[in-house]
Structure 1
Amino acid sequence: MATFYEVKQLICRLLGRRNIDDNDDDITLELRLYRGEQENKQITIFNDELLELYNKVSNMKYNGLELYSDETYEMALDIDYFTIRDQEFPLISDDNINGISYEVSYPTVEYSLYLLMLIKDVMNQQQGHRSRIPPMRLRRRPLERDFSNGESTLETILPKMIGEFSLKIKVKNRIYTSLNVFTRMKTAFVFEFMYRTGNALVEFLDILDMFPMNNIMHSRSSETQMDIPPLRKYTEDVVDYYKQALASNDPYIKYISFYHVMEYFYDEVFKRKMVTDLKNKITHPDFSYKDEDKIYEIAMFVKNRLRMNDETGQGNELESLKYVLKEYVSIDDLKARISTIDPNALNYYQNKKVAFCNAPVIGWLDSEGVFTQIAKRIYFTRNSLVHSKSGKNKERYRPYQDEKQLQLEIPLVKAVAEAIIINSSEIV
């Protein structure tokens, strides 16, 4: 990890002062006159204040871009739309029942310093190459403007110097909170944010993803206010699939990612259904282990139900999808959610097949067959996307040519994925 003097040097360099001595002196920096201002602005970096902050951060725990303690957690988010930033942030949600608070805003001074330490580590690893400071979203001139009429301290300077946003989680009345617990809280907040706003909330992968050396800037969609804290615990893997779907503009990736949410539960639900049905049969009063015909009937039941894959032991995927739908999806709730996404979608699914794969229409009023029809429409479409055999041109998805029609299927799989994520979650 970068030393105190290395971090001090980096901060001064970012603010326009190079080659300071490695000592414990305070450093006064002068920002050049910003247009319209009457006098230059001075910023003083007090050595003791910076050292205290450095020691505090050094004693915290970290994992990649995650910085946490027993009661706090912080993670950088990739949010780039400045107009929305100014209008909508900070986002604050308080779970008073469980003593948890969530906030999306400029990073804390501790997290800002931690990121600068990571940046310096990368620069140290590049010794022998041309050392270059990664581009900041907000650099010197915005700093000059922001602090020309106000007090300039480390707490105001460093977050604006970083220029990114972060998710902050704080817990109350707990002696210790593990990283796994914080991660579950983060996953819950991220999913409910995306569900409520329809926008992706994306985490940076690492410090080079956050501050790339080639000056490539990221571009993400805007976010809106979310003032209700999450009260459920979600499966992190399926939230990641959901996040991937929202983050992409490609309907192909969206569809496959939403489908992965459904596929995630195939084995679990299929096996549960299989065991339940088998128990019912062998405990039925008509069953007798002495009756060879009954034993054979059980054997055929198992064979037909599994249609075994010798390598994986997984059951039939279409049947598995239908079981997952029946387990987690309410048709009335599904129809309501689809209508909020696209008011015309329900009528379209009821009257139009998916032409490029001949997936069936959905009879919403058919209480007996609706789950089968939904499963077939989703599964046949999925197969068309992932299989590209030339001998099945009538069932093969053709990128660009079929893209608009595939886009019409997104509300269905999105609403199904959301229902599965929510109904498979646990109440906090």
Structure 2
Amino acid sequence: MDLNTNLEHIQHLLATFLNANVTEKDGVLQLDDQEAIGPSIAEIDRLLAELAPYESDGAAAIYTATDFEVLVREEASFLAPGLARRGAWPYRLEDPDQRLTYTLGPPSDHYLLFLIHRLAALGPQEGFFGLRRRGYRLGTIPGPMEEEKSESAYTLFGALRDSMRRIYSLRIQSESPLTLKILRQAADSFSFQLAYNLDTAFVSIRSFEEVVRRTRLRRIRRPRPEDLDAPRRIYNSDLVSHYQMGVATDSPPLEYLSYYHVAEHFFEAVFEDDLISSVRTTLTQPDFSFRRKADVRALIKLVRDKLRFQREDVTFSEQEALRLVLDRYVDIESIRDKLDAIQDSLVPYYAEKPIVFADSGTVDLREADSSKTTAALSRRIYATRNAVVHSKDGGKPKYVPFRHDRVLAQELPLMRLVAEEIIISSSDLPT
């Protein structure tokens, strides 16, 4: 793996991530005006040489035939202490039968070098905001096991590790050559073993966009608390709860469904309004007569076409209800402009790329006919929701947790903006 870099670029990246001034003195990097703490230029050259035989899986893992390392995030109940505080850290497990060694802990130095280059490639906002914290000072930022810190932690790479909250790496080393598929299977099996026995999930990060995707929305928002104004509208409490759930979670499927529930809140009311309006329009037509059977049959057909009869239950098309909600509450032009502000590739992505795990189709948010756009948007959102919710085996595409998180994460900016439009459009002014 060739990072196509030099010492000056690496020094710049470290300074940017740590939000501090990094200089070089006597062949060793130092922070601000403190003494040299490393790494040295020789160590950086060594790390670049170590990375040379590695390949990237195109996402967040690097590997050779005998070594695999991937970034993982810890997901644990607030009642369950993190693994880093339960005992020895990093956590190391030997498998003599398969001749594998599992190491869960802070990322290795050569992985960190790979990481900062990949995050920086996403752009200043996306790459740096996710890991950036206050300026590093020796001994001021606690690691996962402060009392067990070694001297190696007090380097610039150690500072980077300390700035990553609940994000670690899983490394698998093998005594014999293995394929990437087998190494990934070993990683998944190890993660299940931990989750089953310790009630703590370490989830492989499938893309670096997953680490920093939330920061993109901050481009179009006010980043500082002192810039906020008091609310001038009254919002629906149920919708706010669903929205907060979406914002608070790191799980792409839960986030997507939380935003979807904002739209779902209005399904019945909006569909009922549409049905009443259609019936009223038919009844008040000058050529309608309740004495003519043909007219009454036409009215019955209108109602039957809009409703679904299942045994003793009467339901309606949720996709049609979603379309009506979008039509009533969502300004497509506003959604498009905000998506462009977040990332200029999103609108073309939705127009060109269907979702691989859902029969979603595409949606062109630049389409002049807003009714076509709304219909296409409702199909994409509803198909995605169904694929996430339903996991039955069969011919239809379905969402597989973690495997499809990278694709689903691409839909989150769109779904979040839709939810926000609905919440704001359905709000009231104070009386």
Q: TM-score range by the shorter chain?
A: 0.3 to 0.5
TM-score by length of 2: 0.47
TM-score by length of 1: 0.47
